Each structure stands twice: as structure tokens, then as C-alpha cells.
């Protein structure tokens, strides 16, 4: 299908992009890698008056060390993020999850920030950002603000950003010594969206668990932290039996959808099984 008519803008700087967003109002769409937006345009599920192409903003592709955290530019591609030595060393959970995103062609075009701004609950990276306590940096002509991942994902494909705001980067706290991570994903084919996914980070203290972070993919209209699981494993033994017991609470407080790929009950069962696996793998 042919997309609806729209104005095309390719800004040369972030300030130019912000001005274009402010001028276009609520009927503008931002094009980063385009791997999610282009299909929506072709099917006329999205029909913006203006399309703002960020492809020329190389300043937003930088990944840099900020001491206790990494700053990942919103336009860094999945391929770039997966292979960056800083990301691999300090936040390997991002690498594990990104390796499961679609296929190499998509990973070369799709962007880290685009995946988060799209706010698809079936996407892999929103849950990872939630588990890592990431902070998303957004900017507009009015200024810049920081939005914790716990507040960024509001509803199905809806974020806390205003229409004139642009995601420019993501600050991710480093995981130090003692942390283990794992991303467990169940999907029908290698390139499909997750039916359910689990992003997990575990900090061990000897044979016990000092802290655990667990976030779920596609278990509601937005990614969700499995708080009951985190509480259940904290201070307990790092054993498979303990993890299975805690994982029984993985679906508590979630709203898993029912669709062609599975019922809500099926997803709740998957969340239990995959959470136990993810905890065990992250704990080593």
C-alpha cells in the first residue's frame, strides 16, 4: 500500500530537529532506523503530516563512559550497541537482548533509542531498560529532562514524551562485580516478537542472593517489573528450587494479552517458567 502524503524534513542538527518538531505539532513522526515506522506508514496505520528524518544526526550515535554509568546515544544502531566494548563490559544484558532482535539486516538499521521510544510492550529493550534502572534523556525547544524507565513506558506504544520532545540518549548504570545477567525469550521463530521475555540481573553474595531485578516483556500494555519475584529471592539462597518457588509469582499484577500467539493464561505460565530459567542463568 502507498503511504499517505506527508512533508519530509531531514535536519542537520538536533536543534533543527527540535524546531521541526515544534513547528509540526502533534501530527509529526520521527524517523530513526525506520524498522517499526515504515511498515506502519505502508499500511496507513500511521499517517503523519510531517516526517522528521534523524539519519544525519551522527552526534546522537555516540556511546560514552560517564563514570558510574554509560550514555548511549539514541541513534546508535543495534549492531553498534552489540559490539561496543563499553556496553559488553558494563551492561551485557543489553547485548544479550539485542542479539535476539529480529535479524542482522534489521539490527544494522534499527536504533537503540527508536526501540525504546516506540514503546512496544513486545519489544525486547524496554524491559531491559526497566531492569537496569535506565534513565531516558529527552529534549525539546523548552529544555531537557530525564525520565526514569519506570515512568517512561505509559501504555501500549505510548511513552511519557510530549509531542515536541525527542529522545536523545539513555543513561544506563553500570553493573559492577558480583552481578550476573540473562535475557530469556520465547518466540515462535527467530525473527519474531517475544511471546514472553524476561530480563534478569542477579547480584550474589556468596551462596545467597543480595539483590535481583526482573522485568517482563509482553506481559501487559507496558513492560513491568516482577516485584514479587525480586522480593522473594532477595536474601535467599541462589538455588534452582528457590528460584522456581519465587518465579511462581512472576505473573502477579500483570495483564498478559490474549492473541493469535497465545492466551493470557499461556503467557502467565511462560512467565513463570522463563523467570525461573533467567534467575538460574543470571546467578550462574
The verdict on 157 and 97 lying in the same domain is yes
Q: What number is the average pLDDT over the span 145-158?
A: 97
CATH of the domain at 219: 3.30.390.50
Condensed to tens digits (0 to 9), the pLDDT of residues 77-87 reads 999 999 999 99
The verdict on 26 and 121 lying in the same domain is no
Position 130 pLDDT exceeds 80: yes
- Measured CA to CA, the distance from residue 271 to residue 148 in angstroms comes to 24
pLDDT in the model for residue 163: 93
pLDDT in the model for residue 191: 77
The verdict on 65 and 169 lying in the same domain is yes
C-alpha distances out from residue 15 to 6, 143, 168, Å: 21, 11, 11
In angstroms, how far is the first alpha carbon of the chain from the final one?
Answer: 49
Query: Where is the domain boundary, 115, 149, 173?
Result: 173
pLDDT in the model for residue 190: 77
Q: Is residue 74 part of a domain?
A: yes
- Measured CA to CA, the distance from residue 196 to residue 217 in angstroms comes to 5
Position 221 pLDDT exceeds 90: yes
Q: What number is the average pLDDT over the span 97-114?
A: 96
> Where in the sequence is the domain holding 220, given as residue range(s)?
179-283
CATH of the domain at 22: 3.30.43.10
- Measured CA to CA, the distance from residue 120 to residue 32 in angstroms comes to 15
The verdict on 68 and 156 lying in the same domain is yes
Condensed to tens digits (0 to 9), the pLDDT of residues 1-34 reads 788 899 999 999 999 999 999 999 888 999 999 9
Q: Is residue 1 part of a domain?
A: no
Domains of the chain: total: 3
What's the whole-number average pLDDT of the chain? 96
Contact 58, 65 (CB under 8 A): no
Reduced to 3 states, what is the DSSP secondary structure of residue 14?
A: helix
Q: Is residue 2 part of a domain?
A: no
For residue 19, give the H/E element and its range: helix 14-24
The verdict on 40 and 131 lying in the same domain is no
DSSP H helix total and E strand total for the chain: 12, 14
The verdict on 77 and 43 lying in the same domain is no
Query: Where is the domain boundary, 37, 53, 69?
Result: 53
The verdict on 32 and 75 lying in the same domain is no
Q: Are strands 63-65 and 69-73 parallel, antiparallel or unpaired?
A: antiparallel
Residue 211 pairs with which residues in a beta bridge?
Answer: 203
The verdict on 161 and 202 lying in the same domain is no
Query: Where is the domain boundary, 173, 199, 218?
Result: 173
HEC per residue, 183-196: EEEECCCCCCCCCE
The verdict on 34 and 67 lying in the same domain is no
Q: What number is the average pLDDT over the span 107-119?
A: 97
The verdict on 206 and 275 lying in the same domain is yes
The verdict on 40 and 140 lying in the same domain is no
The verdict on 132 and 199 lying in the same domain is no
Q: What pTM does this model have?
A: 0.96
CATH of the domain at 146: 3.30.465.10
Q: What DSSP string describes 85-137?
A: HHHHHH-HHHHHHHTTSS-HHHHHH-BHHHHHHHT-TT-HHHHHHHHTT-EEE
pLDDT in the model for residue 179: 97
Amino acid at each position: 500500500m502507498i503511504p499517505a502524503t506527508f512533508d519530509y524534513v531531514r535536519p542537520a542538527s538536533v536543534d533543527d530537529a527540535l524546531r521541526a518538531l515544534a513547528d509540526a505539532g502533534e501530527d509529526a513522526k520521527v524517523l530513526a532506523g525506520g524498522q517499526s515506522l515504515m511498515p506502519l506508514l505502508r499500511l496507513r496505520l500511521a499517517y503523519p503530516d510531517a516526517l522528521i528524518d534523524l539519519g544525519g544526526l551522527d552526534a546522537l550515535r555516540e556511546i560514552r563512559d560517564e563514570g558510574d554509568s554509560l550514555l548511549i546515544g539514541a541513534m546508535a544502531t543495534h549492531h553498534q550497541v552489540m559490539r561496543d566494548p563499553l556496553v559488553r563490559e558494563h551492561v551485557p544484558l543489553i547485548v544479550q537482548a539485542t542479539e535476539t532482535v529480529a535479524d542482522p539486516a534489521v539490527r544494522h538499521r534499527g536504533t537503540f533509542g527508536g526501540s525504546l521510544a516506540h514503546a512496544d510492550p513486545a519489544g525486547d529493550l524496554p524491559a531491559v531498560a526497566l531492569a537496569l534502572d535506565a534513565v531516558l534523556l529527552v529534549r525539546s525547544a523548552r529544555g531537557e529532562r530525564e525520565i526514569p524507565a519506570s515512568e517512561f513506558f505509559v501504555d501500549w506504544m505510548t511513552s511519557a514524551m510530549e509531542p515536541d520532545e525527542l529522545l536523545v540518549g539513555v543513561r544506563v548504570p553500570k553493573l559492577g562485580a558480583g552481578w550476573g545477567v540473562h535475557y530469556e525469550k520465547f518466540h515462535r521463530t527467530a525473527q519474531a516478537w517475544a511471546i514472553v521475555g524476561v530480563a534478569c540481573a542477579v547480584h550474589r553474595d556468596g551462596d545467597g542472593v543480595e539483590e535481583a531485578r526482573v522485568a517482563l516483556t509482553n506481559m501487559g500494555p507496558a513492560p513491568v517489573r516482577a516485584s514479587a519475584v525480586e522480593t522473594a529471592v532477595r536474601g535467599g539462597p541462589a538455588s534452582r528450587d528457590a528460584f522456581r518457588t519465587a518465579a511462581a509469582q512472576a505473573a502477579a499484577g500483570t495483564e498478559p494479552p490474549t492473541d493469535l500467539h497465545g492466551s493470557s493464561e499461556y503467557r502467565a505460565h511462560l512467565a513463570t517458567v522463563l523467570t525461573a530459567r533467567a534467575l538460574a542463568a543470571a546467578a550462574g
